[in-house]
Amino acid sequence: MNTKINIAIDGHSSCGKSSIAKFISKKFEMIYVDSGAMYRAVTYYCLKNMIIINNKIDLDLLRKHIHKIDIVFRYNKVHKKIETFLNEENVELFIRSFEVSQNVSKISQIKEVRDKLINIQQNIIKNKNVVMDGRDIGTKVMPNAEIKLFITADINIRAQRRFDEVKDTDSELTFDQVLNNLRERDFDDENRELNPLIKASDCILFNNTSVTEEQQYHFISDLIKTKKNILCK
């Protein structure tokens, strides 16, 4: 079954989109693109270069720097995972910080940033066999994807997942801070003027609040196999 397809995965923050995409990438030998990591990398660049100070973005300075930003993904053979490189620096650990999380929604609303990253993403998907997760993948980046998933979950469950992920690297962070940050990000993602988080008309909605990872992956595997079988006929 060598039929090449593109798979778009959209959904709210901390609902497991990247875990699903990585599972698909490994099981079906597809190229994985973490679009959220790209926006996080731009945010990290802005923090590092004083373009963001006290949660305020210097738009003029960002526009002067945007052409200097280069983002690529590379497979780490030792750790067996895809890692994000910003201007040849491995930033995988840095872009997951709470400070980046606090600012990434604002960065993702900037037209120049979205235009640059969407251009990179659309160049990657031309030859198909790509699974990509984000906020506007099925609606903007790859509207012709053969499979579109929209993943969601209860916000308290999402906050707990995110808190468990970062608490060891930020001991002062509280669950309520994470929960409030997710509420703010949901609002920003759903209400931004440019490419908001919405369900594509032909997406498959999947709520993973009360399912196990095994159940989730079984459902998605069957979905992909069925689609590939249909396209092979």
Taking 70 as the threshold, does the pLDDT of residue 1 lie above it? Answer: no
Question: What's the rounded Cα separation, in Å, for the pair 82 and 76?
Answer: 6
Q: In terms of DSSP bridges, do strands 130-134 and 89-90 run parallel, antiparallel, or are they unpaired?
A: unpaired
Question: How crowded is the C-beta side of 203, counted as CA atoms within 13 Å?
Answer: 26
Report the pLDDT value the prediction gives residue 75, as an integer from 0 to 100. Answer: 84
Instruction: Kindly report, residue by residue over 183-195, the tens digit of the pLDDT.
Output: 999 998 999 888 8
Domains and CATH numbers, the chain: 7-228 (3.40.50.300)
Report the pLDDT value the prediction gives residue 168, as an integer from 0 to 100. Answer: 78
The residue assigned the tokens 């962070």 is 173
Lowest-pLDDT range of 71-85, 120-134, 135-149: 71-85
Amino acid symbol at 162: R
**What's the rounded mean pLDDT across residues 8-36?**
93
Instruction: Kindly report, residue by residue over 159-211, the tens digit of the pLDDT.
Output: 999 999 888 777 788 999 999 999 999 998 999 888 899 999 999 999 999 99
On whether the CB atoms of residues 216 and 20 are closer than 8 A, the answer is yes
Q: Which one-letter DSSP state was computed for residue 127?
A: G
Instruction: Kindly report, residue by residue over 26-63, the tens digit of the pLDDT.
Output: 999 999 999 999 999 999 999 999 999 998 999 999 99
Q: In terms of DSSP bridges, do strands 89-90 and 81-86 run parallel, antiparallel, or are they unpaired?
A: antiparallel
The pTM is what?
Answer: 0.86
